[in-house]
Structure 1
Amino acid sequence: MKPSKLYSNRPAMFAPVEFKPELNVVLAEIRRPENRDLDTHNLGKTTLGRLIDFGFLAGRDAKFFLFKHLDRFGEFVFFLEIELLDGTYVTVRRSVAEASKISFKKHRARHQDFSTLPDLEWDHVDVPFDRAKDLLDSLLDWRVLKPWHYRKGLGYFLRSQEDFRDVFQLRRFANAHADWKPFLAHILGFDADLITRHYDKEDKLKEAEQKATTVRQELGGEIEDAGKIDGLLLLKRQEVQKKQQLLDAFDFRSQDKADTKQLVDQIDERIAVLNQRRYSLTQNRKKVIASLEEDQILFDPEAASELFREAGVLFAGQIKRDFQQLIAFNKAITDERRCYLIEERAEIEAELKTVNAELNALGKRRSDMLAFLSSTDSFAKYKHLSNELVTLRADIEGLERQREFVHRLQQLRSDIRSLTEEKTHLEALIEADVEARNADEDSLFSRVRLFFNEIVEEVIDQKALLSVVVNQQGHLDFRAELLDDTGIATSADRGFSYKKLLCIAFDLAVLRAHLDDAFPRFAFHDGVLESLDDRKKVNLLGVIRRYSTLGLQSIITLIDSDLPPLDDDVPTFDPSEIVLLLHDEGDDGRLFRMRPW
């Protein structure tokens, strides 16, 4: 339940770090004045948390410093000793060179050194990585996290600087809310199964909607009514049956009669209508072209002015100006009229093109039918009917494929309706669950939010509210806010120092609420006092010490410049609380006793 010891096979380069069950301080002293103003000092206080995570079987990342600098760390083997719930211990052995092969050793005494222990004395040797994680999961037995793996929430208890940016969404979580919101809801006491099912239904609904869109695109705007397609298929099949009977009987009289009727009643009539429409369109196009050519004004204001002058009439330039204005006005009207005429001509020509194409097709069909009717060659008629039969059967196959698409689309629409109803039902259940947990003063969530407010109020004398609400999409929104005296949320939590405080308060509140459960009982917080006022630092350390006495292990890192002023020359930390002292006077003061990388 708690890290107990971290060591390596090269103690001269990496000295063992023995953790206490309560408060553990990793203190970095900046002894050189020129380093006081630096943002980073590369002493290793942050690296310690990464090594603990490595011991808890973090996945291999090429950017991780151990793998990025294999020339320096390739020969290192690290050992993480972990205290279990029953008071026994398990040591995890993991090398850098073969990071996917893990060994385990259970034991009863703490602070052991198995760096030279032969493989035969290990309980499990070189276990493949995935199996090793499952094995460690069973050994830790953090059963309250089930059905999630032990590593899912480890980031809440191994907070690096990057993890202080958001109280709830850790850096290691995927961007998709479905990856972490159900888990977070679970450890806060909500029904995570409802939330997981809701995300699952939402994904299935999106998938069904995408498939329906694809089917509609494949239909290409064709008939989407299965009943109409079935009707067309019925007619086509009947026509196939009739033509097949004619072919089988080798008697084409009924076909001649049908073709004659179709030729007179449909084709000739349609050709006549189209010819009349083509004549009308041609006349209209002629008029439009003529109107476009009549774009000039015949009146000449200069000639009119000269005429009036010779007649002895004095205009003093007024009439000339009026005529020029009239010309400008007429020109504006003419330009607008030309635009409309050009558009009309384009529409006429497009329709003429369509009419001509249909007339050509009908003319060809009329010619073929006349040839069929006038032909006395029965074999030619047989061939003609056979070709029509082939075309009809091809049409039937096309309609059957179209019907399959339409039936698929109808099924998808039915699925979408069902999924939408199920999703809405789950949203109602989620809302009811959230409302019930919020209203229940004895619920796990109520305890967490009370502990959360207690910590924040003790540190900065300001109330804080932890809340969970259901948004319009039916998803949970988690909020951690500072409140003013009237209970209204303030913007103070947006500052980095207060955001970090809210993260620490949340982690500790969750740990305390699960104190009686099979749950992690440690928290690593990097740079815990940075940016806080001196009085608030003292208050926060008081909270951490008090939580340590409850049975929760705290591992905190800080630099000496972040320490609050001494009170009556009493040091902030007892020497027994400092498990690792780092400094900037040479390589011996670093976590790894080597030059920085």
Structure 2
Amino acid sequence: MKLSKLYSNKPVVFRPITFVTGVNVVLGEIRLPENQNKDTHNLGKSTVGRLLDFMLLAGRDPKFFLLKHSNLFNDFVFFLEIQLFDGTFVTIRRSVAEVTKISFKKHETAGQDYNRLPESGWDHSSVAFDRSKEILDGLLDWRSLKPYDFRKGLGYQLRSQDDYRDVFQLRRFAGGHADWKPYLAHVLGFNSELISKRYEKEKRLKERKATAQTLKHELGDSVDDISKVDGLLLLKRQEVEKKQILLDAFDFRNRDRQANKQLVDELDEQIAALNSKRYSLTQSRKKIVASLEEDAIMFNPDEAAKLFQEAGILFHGQIKRDYEQLIAFNRAITDERRQYLIEERNDIDTDLKRITAELNSLGKLRSETLSFLTSADVFAKYKRASDELATLKAEILDLNRQRDLLLRLQLLATEIRRLSDEIAQLRQEIDADVNNQHNPDTLFSRIRLLFNEIVEEVIDRKAILSVHTNKEGHLEFKAEILDESGNSSSADAGFTYRKLLCIAFDLAVLRCHLEDKFPRFVFHDGVFESLDPRKKVKLLGEIRRLANEGLQPVITLIDAELPSGDAETVKLEDAEIILTLHDEGDDGRLFRMPPW
């Protein structure tokens, strides 16, 4: 497939561009002295590549100049004529006003002008955008790109200045590596299916792990053993069945008997025991209080002496002292005994308080139970049993929710293990495929040899194209310029040599796919910028050589970028210059109108 013609419905403003089979040059001539040292000249050289991308069904982008300046371009309709592999042609029509409606026309000869062709003359007229891409994909028949469509790798055929920053990752591949590495591996001869599968499985693994983490957070501190949950559900369901039978029969006899048994066998026994213990403690306390009162010493020696004196009996001296000593002795014994009695009384008081509290609690429970037994309103009993059933059902719902979450976690854990194993297996297969591609007869080996051949011819330095798997198991692509000793150097870090690597890579890939159903054209903007004169001559020679072998290079340059001298190898042939632009007024620009 090659480019044939690009034109519009306004040929006075946008002159037709006819592409040739060999080298195609879009030349910008700087005629005004004041513009000689400018970096940009706004002639429209780069815009040619953007228009080709537009006509090859680039998506609607509000920032694209035709749409951004719709007041200037809304009446434009563009046509792109393409030569197919069988020698026939197809013309694509796309208007700015109806940018998502595309028309197609197949024909036998080149150089047609279908600007005035009626709608009935088009094979497919005003087709919706997505369907249009399917039609064009079939017409182009780039089957060597399958399973990818024709737009996937167009960035390597339409290199803008922004696409020289990296040999492999184009500006349009701003997303993750999964968006472009499988495709690049495919065109280099690697098994892209393995790489795509690995990215897909890694994406799924990440999603499954995130889902599992969410489920764990939702479970919180709930039971994490599904067997225990099943056991609890079994018990709860059994209780529900019993209560449901009770409610269905509207018969509370079993519930009454259970309450009566609890009242007689449990509550009354506990209350009787506590009452008995309280009675025993009360009697003990009375005895202690009595003992404390009996221990009081009523005899007073002074009062006895006064009484004896009134009676005329002598009560002093040794007799009085003996009584005082006896009283002191008895008081010492009594004080010690009283201390023990007081401590025992305090312990009894504590026990009595506890027993009283327990009796109060049991009495309340006994009252509630008796209320159930003696209630005359059977609907109150029904409501109480219904509330208990509702609570049980709510607990069962919560347990079922936990069980579902645990089952999902189990399934996720199984899938996570399986995906991890499959990813590990894919890594082994990718490693083996990479090792196999280093054989000299593979497509990758042919591309890397031609890549080096182009670079070495231009700058007299060897270049190496390499592919390896990184520590995560993903492919890494590298393009390096070697020093005189054959070791990696930093020369490719500069913009000039990095651009050369991009150009050499694109040309090498196209040339090595020349026998396949693969695109033949490539557009390189500003191809000679910043190269020294000798290298420009050699690069032009390589471009011409590959064009003679069947490629269709389209390059843009400023006349000042051509090396000086009269060498035939430098001089551009008239047939190679498909469009000349200049800085002498609007007539020299791609669109013959004031700059926007």
Is the structural similarity TM-score above 0.5?
Answer: yes
2:20 paired residue number? 20
2:531 paired residue number? 532
In structure 2, what is the Cα distance between the partners aligned to 1:22 and 1:530? 21
1:272 paired residue number? none
Give 5+ residue unaligned stretches, structure 1.
Answer: 266-361
What TM-score results when the alignment is normalised by the length of structure 2? Answer: 0.78
In structure 1, what is the Cα distance between the partners aligned to 2:219 and 2:268? 32
Deviations 1:413-468, CA, capped at 9 Å, x for gaps: 11211222122222222222122112x21111111111111111111111212112
SS in 2 for 1:477: strand
Q: Give the residue type in structure 2 aligned to 1:516.
A: E
Q: Mapping of 1:358-397 within 5 angstroms?
A: 369-373=365-369, 375=371, 377-379=373-375, 387-397=387-397
1:179 paired residue number? 179
Deviation, structure 1 residue 207: 1.7
Deviation, structure 1 residue 126: 2.0
1:542 paired residue number? 541
1:58 paired residue number? 58
Deviation, structure 1 residue 390: 4.0
Deviation, structure 1 residue 182: 1.3
In structure 1, what is the Cα distance between the partners aligned to 2:118 and 2:559? 41
In structure 2, what is the Cα distance between the partners aligned to 1:536 and 1:232? 82
Q: Give the residue type in structure 1 aligned to 2:210.
A: Q
Q: Structure 1 residues 261, 211: closer, same or farther in 2, change over 3 A?
A: farther
Query: Which 10-residue stretch deviates more, 152-161 or 569-578?
Result: 569-578
2:461 paired residue number? 462
2:488 paired residue number? 489
In structure 1, what is the Cα distance between the partners aligned to 2:382 and 2:508? 90
In structure 1, what is the Cα distance between the partners aligned to 2:73 and 2:560? 31
> 1:372–1:381: 8 Å Cα contact kept in structure 2?
no
1:441 paired residue number? 440
2:319 paired residue number? none
2:79 paired residue number? 79
What TM-score results when the alignment is normalised by the length of structure 1? Answer: 0.78
Deviation, structure 1 residue 518: 0.6
Q: Mapping of 1:304-383 within 5 angstroms?
A: 369-373=365-369, 375=371, 377-379=373-375
2:253 paired residue number? 249
2:406 paired residue number? 406
In structure 1, what is the Cα distance between the partners aligned to 2:465 and 2:142? 24
SS in 1 for 2:433: helix
Aligned residues: 500
Deviation, structure 1 residue 516: 0.2
In structure 1, what is the Cα distance between the partners aligned to 2:400 and 2:203? 31
Give 5+ residue unaligned stretches, structure 2.
Answer: 271-357
Deviation, structure 1 residue 484: 2.2
Deviation, structure 1 residue 381: 7.5
State yes or no: 1:143 paired with 2:150: no
> 1:263–1:369: 8 Å Cα contact kept in structure 2?
no
Deviations 1:498-541, CA, capped at 9 Å, x for gaps: 11111111100110110100100111000001111222111111
Deviation, structure 1 residue 240: 5.0
State yes or no: 1:105 paired with 2:101: no
> 2:540–2:570: 8 Å Cα contact kept in structure 1?
no
State yes or no: 1:159 paired with 2:159: yes
Q: Structure 1 residues 127, 369: closer, same or farther in 2, change over 3 A?
A: same
Q: Structure 1 residues 373, 84: closer, same or farther in 2, change over 3 A?
A: same
Q: Structure 1 residues 250, 119: closer, same or farther in 2, change over 3 A?
A: closer
- State the Cα RMSD in Å: 2.8
Deviations 1:224-255, CA, capped at 9 Å, x for gaps: 11012122223434555666788753354545
In structure 2, what is the Cα distance between the partners aligned to 1:219 and 1:231? 18
Q: Structure 1 residues 245, 155: closer, same or farther in 2, change over 3 A?
A: closer
Q: Structure 1 residues 390, 19: closer, same or farther in 2, change over 3 A?
A: closer
Q: Mapping of 1:104-143 within 5 angstroms?
A: 104-143=104-143
In structure 2, what is the Cα distance between the partners aligned to 1:384 and 1:121? 84
> 1:201–1:419: 8 Å Cα contact kept in structure 2?
yes
Deviation, structure 1 residue 129: 2.1
SS in 2 for 1:21: coil
Deviation, structure 1 residue 394: 2.7
Q: Structure 1 residues 571, 496: closer, same or farther in 2, change over 3 A?
A: closer
Q: Give the residue type in structure 1 aligned to 2:595.
A: P
In structure 2, what is the Cα distance between the partners aligned to 1:203 and 1:191? 19
> 1:459–1:536: 8 Å Cα contact kept in structure 2?
yes
In structure 2, what is the Cα distance between the partners aligned to 1:244 and 1:84? 79
Q: Structure 1 residues 28, 363: closer, same or farther in 2, change over 3 A?
A: farther
State yes or no: 1:9 paired with 2:5: no
> 1:174–1:180: 8 Å Cα contact kept in structure 2?
no
Deviation, structure 1 residue 125: 2.3
In structure 1, what is the Cα distance between the partners aligned to 2:99 and 2:482? 47
Deviation, structure 1 residue 116: 2.8
1:206 paired residue number? 206
